[in-house]
């Protein structure tokens, strides 16, 4: 409709554009969210084409929330980082996969709230736990301005262009939405969409298309689509979305919503056109949580999407605030996993893998079996003791499962199906890669290769760890390239990476000039990093991302970390005796210090500053040991309480122990405390210590 009389006045195009956009938004919501299309596809297409033509004629009137902008923009070179205004925290996982797991959660909540047996049941909201990718959608004055992945909880990636391609996600909200609104939920791929996508991929492969592949499961396909640099390609991967929570929101004091319950919050999200799972429901007390868990488990295989459990949340927002958080997890919510799916298969061989720290891990090579959405060919046997305890032998028929829905493991052997008398597994006493001695340290279950960086397997793993996205991030430096670099002797230590020249890279098999230049550019880019990323990338045993961040916050500068004594390291949050000794030992080795200095000489750098101010805490500098059963606190709850108050929890009693917290049936730790004269307190005294200092 581009006849002259349509634009009789100057504001006619703007009015028509607004009409078209509103109509198309309404139809899209009916189609994608409500599954109730109100017009034929041809009519939607007709108005969509009219909108495209009108925007082309009046480019100054194009807006970010137009339906035409769901697929648009140039391919990206990479994803920008986004710091979350409100951290995207993880939810505690209930490890008891029986219905009793729901009862455990209700018991903890009632205890935290001080509710007696004769007081009313707690009201919860229960919902499926979707197997997708957590996403944060940020709206300013009703317009979608940013979509970001969870990342490490504090910093995610900007994937706005790809998220715009999801028809279920509104680009504009109604006028009553708050000025700032962050909606959190899960991006996933429906099973039927996944099957259709793989069928299209198979047809492309059969037609001879290069670089195409089929996808393993819906979650992997969704992850690949979200992290696709070209939004036009992302649009070809059908994604869906469920909203289930909030990030930053304009406060009630500033005119924002004033919800009193999680159920009311979800109702608002539905009114604002967000898809909310219709299986979410209110549950009163433990009995209804158990019923919900059993009901969803029974429906699991018939749902249109994958789930791996359910989530329980205290419904009252006032009670949520009262319960608060423990470490970085809300006390008022829990993820209750379903039992991992299990299948039968056979053991073809048992290999030994060498990890980054020299750990030797026996791995069962399996006849391929489809378990929990993926084809499994390897399963960990953990260590020699575990392999012998389960008596896994080559040729055995075994039950395999994906432990935690992530790491496949052998659950047990079916002895009656064993043929002959195959040899029991024994860990080799030399490294299978470099031939160095394999030793088992005292009080450890694992054997370790003593070859260090002489062992090519350890060098490869150390380089991959250093170059991974969560460390210094050298884009494009993957397993195959690292294998080549180490095997031909070009890279022996981390600093060798930054001495790589274009010619040396380009001369490697299957490495073109352009690919070599990309690696050189990625290495140059990686020189600008942060202190936490660098510390994590060094691969110090027991130092993960969270510990690296705490070290950086506490000391401010790398030299201060390197020169710290074990006692000084113990003052860092989340650092106990074992971790402190590991860090101290690492930096006491001259060759490790030499690696750091060479990396600095190669130009690797990061911002440094003064140590973060440390607030006085009641248990700062104190080391406590727990023994026996406490009246109201579980072992993990007591540990979290102590650590939140600045204390450290050790596993054994020594002269350096400040207090032993003893409960019923305390054992040898209590006896040793008495022998050493270490003060012994009970749970009540522990709480008094903490309260007295706050």
DSSP H helical ranges for 556-662: 558-563, 566-569, 577-588, 590-601, 635-644
Cα distance between residue 400 and residue 398, in whole Å: 6
Q: Which of 129, 313, 549, 648 is catalytic?
A: 129
Closest CA to 167 of 53, 35, 279: 35
Tokens of 304: 């249109």
Q: Give the C-alpha distances (Å, rounded to integers) separating 388 from 383, 385, 401.
A: 9, 5, 18
Backbone angles phi, psi at 198, to 5 degrees: -65, -35
Dist CA 573 CA 644 (whole Å): 9
Distance from C-alpha of 146 to C-alpha of 156, rounded to nearest angstrom: 11
Residue 557 falls in the annotated catalytic set? no
The rounded distance, in Å, linking the Cα atoms of 225 and 237 is 6
Long-range contacts of 290-295 (CB under 8 A, 24+ apart): 290/99, 290/102, 290/103, 292/102, 292/126, 293/99, 293/101, 293/102, 293/126, 293/336, 294/99
Cα 603 to chain centroid, rounded:
31
- The tokens 């799972």 sit on which residue? 277
Structure tokens at 592: 């490790």
Half-sphere exposure of 64 (CA within 13 A, CB side): 15
The answer to whether 129 and 104 have CB atoms below 8 angstroms apart is no
Structure tokens at 392: 């896994």
Contact 460, 354 (CB under 8 A): no
Bridge partner list, 651:
none
The answer to whether the CB of 406 falls within 8 A of the CB of 385 is no
Tokens of 316: 């009252």
Q: Across the strands, what pairs with 370?
A: 375
User: Rounded to an integer, what distance in angstroms lies between the CA atom of residue 500 and that of residue 491?
Assistant: 8
Residue 209 and residue 201: Cα distance in Å, rounded? 9
Kindly report the backbone phi and psi dihedral angles of residue 581, in degrees, each rounded to the nearest multiple of 5, phi listed first.
Answer: -65, -35
Give CA angle at 350 (346, 355), nearest 5°.
130
State both tokens at 286: 């433990």
- According to DSSP H, which parts of 169-261 are helical? 191-206, 218-226, 231-234
The total of other beta-carbon atoms located within 10 Å of residue 504's CB is: 15
Instruction: Please state, in angstroms and rounded to a whole number, the distance separating the CA atoms of residues 633 and 646.
Output: 18
Q: Which residue is associated with the tokens 């024994």?
A: 426
User: Are 506 and 512 in contact, with CB atoms under 8 Å apart?
Assistant: yes
Could you list the beta-strand ranges (E) of 158-217: 180-188
How many other CB atoms are found less than 10 A from the CB of residue 108?
18
In angstroms, the CA 150 to CA 156 distance is 5
Give buried/exposed letters for 460-471 (b at 16+ CB in 10 A, else e). Answer: bbbbbbbbbeeb
Tell me the C-alpha distance between 83 and 148, whole Å.
9
Of 33, 405, 479, give the one whose Cα is nearest residue 219. Answer: 405
Residue 408's Cβ-count burial label (10 Å; 0-12, 13-18, 19+) is buried
| Residues designated as active site | 129
């Amino acid at each position: 409709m581009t006849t002259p009389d349509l634009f009789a006045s100057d504001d006619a195009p703007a009015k028509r554009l607004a009409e078209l956009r509103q109509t198309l938004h309404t139809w899209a919501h009916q189609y994608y969210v409500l599954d109730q299309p109100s017009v034929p596809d041809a009519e939607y297409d007709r108005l969509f084409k009219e909108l495209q033509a009108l925007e082309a004629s009046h480019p100054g009137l194009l807006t970010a929330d137009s339906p035409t902008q769901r697929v648009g923009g140039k391919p990206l070179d990479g994803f920008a980082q986004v710091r979350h205004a409100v951290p995207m925290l993880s939810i505690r996982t209930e490890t008891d996969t029986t219905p009793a797991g729901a009862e455990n959660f209700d018991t903890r909540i009632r205890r935290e709230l001080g509710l007696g047996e004769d007081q009313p049941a707690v009201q919860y909201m229960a919902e499926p736990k979707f197997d997708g990718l957590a996403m944060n959608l940020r709206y300013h004055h009703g317009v979608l301005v940013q979509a970001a992945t969870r990342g490490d909880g504090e910093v995610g990636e900007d994937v706005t262009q790809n998220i715009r391609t999801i028809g279920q996600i509104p680009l504009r909200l109604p006028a009553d939405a708050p000025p700032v609104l962050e909606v959190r939920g899960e991006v996933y791929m429906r099973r039927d969409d996944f099957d259709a996508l793989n069928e299209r991929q198979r047809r492309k492969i059969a037609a001879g298309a290069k670089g195409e592949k089929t996808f393993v499961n819906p979650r992997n396909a969704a992850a690949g689509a979200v992290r696709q640099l070209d939004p036009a390609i992302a649009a070809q991967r059908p994604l869906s979305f469920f909203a289930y929570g909030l990030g930053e929101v304009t406060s009630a004091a500033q005119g924002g919503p004033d919800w009193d319950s999680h159920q009311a919050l979800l109702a608002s999200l539905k009114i604002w056109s967000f898809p909310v799972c219709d299986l979410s429901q209110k549950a009163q007390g433990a009995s209804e949580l158990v019923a919900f868990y059993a009901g969803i488990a029974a429906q699991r295989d018939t749902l249109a999407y994958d789930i791996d459990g359910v989530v329980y949340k205290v419904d009252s927002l006032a009670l949520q605030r009262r319960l608060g958080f423990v470490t970085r997890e809300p006390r008022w919510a829990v993820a209750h996993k379903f039992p991992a799916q299990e299948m039968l298969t056979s053991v073809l061989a048992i290999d030994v893998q060498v990890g980054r720290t020299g750990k030797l891990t026996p791995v069962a090579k399996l006849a391929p079996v489809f378990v929990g959405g993926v084809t499994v060919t390897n399963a960990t046997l953990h260590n020699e003791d575990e392999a012998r305890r389960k008596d896994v032998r080559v040729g055995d028929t075994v039950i395999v499962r994906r432990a935690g829905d992530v790491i496949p493991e052998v659950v047990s052997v079916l002895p009656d199906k064993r043929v002959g008398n195959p040899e029991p597994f024994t860990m080799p006493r030399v490294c299978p890669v470099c031939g160095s001695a394999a030793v088992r340290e005292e009080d450890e279950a694992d054997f370790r290769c003593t070859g260090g960086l002489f062992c090519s397997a350890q060098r490869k793993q150390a380089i991959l760890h250093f170059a991974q996205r969560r460390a210094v991030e050298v884009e494009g430096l993957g397993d195959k390239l690292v294998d080549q670099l180490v095997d031909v002797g070009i890279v022996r230590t981390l600093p060798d990476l930054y001495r790589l020249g274009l010619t040396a890279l380009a001369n490697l098999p299957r490495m073109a000039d352009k690919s070599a230049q990309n690696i050189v550019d990625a290495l140059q880019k990686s020189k600008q990093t942060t202190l936490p990323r660098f510390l994590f990338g060094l691969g110090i045993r027991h130092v993960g991302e969270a510990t690296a961040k705490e070290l950086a916050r506490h000391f401010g500068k790398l030299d201060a970390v390197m020169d710290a004594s074990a006692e000084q390291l113990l003052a860092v949050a989340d650092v106990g005796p074992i971790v402190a000794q590991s860090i101290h030992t690492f930096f006491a080795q001259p060759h490790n210090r030499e690696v750091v200095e060479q990396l600095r000489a190669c130009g690797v750098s990061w911002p440094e500053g003064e140590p973060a101010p440390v607030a006085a805490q009641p248990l700062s500098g104190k080391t406590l040991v727990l023994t026996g059963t406490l009246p109201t606190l579980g072992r993990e709850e007591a540990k979290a309480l102590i650590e939140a108050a600045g204390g450290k929890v050790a596993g054994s009693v020594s002269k350096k122990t400040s207090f032993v917290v003893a409960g019923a049936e305390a054992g040898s730790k209590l006896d040793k405390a008495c022998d050493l004269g270490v003060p012994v307190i009970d749970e009540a005294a522990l709480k008094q210590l903490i309260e007295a200092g706050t």
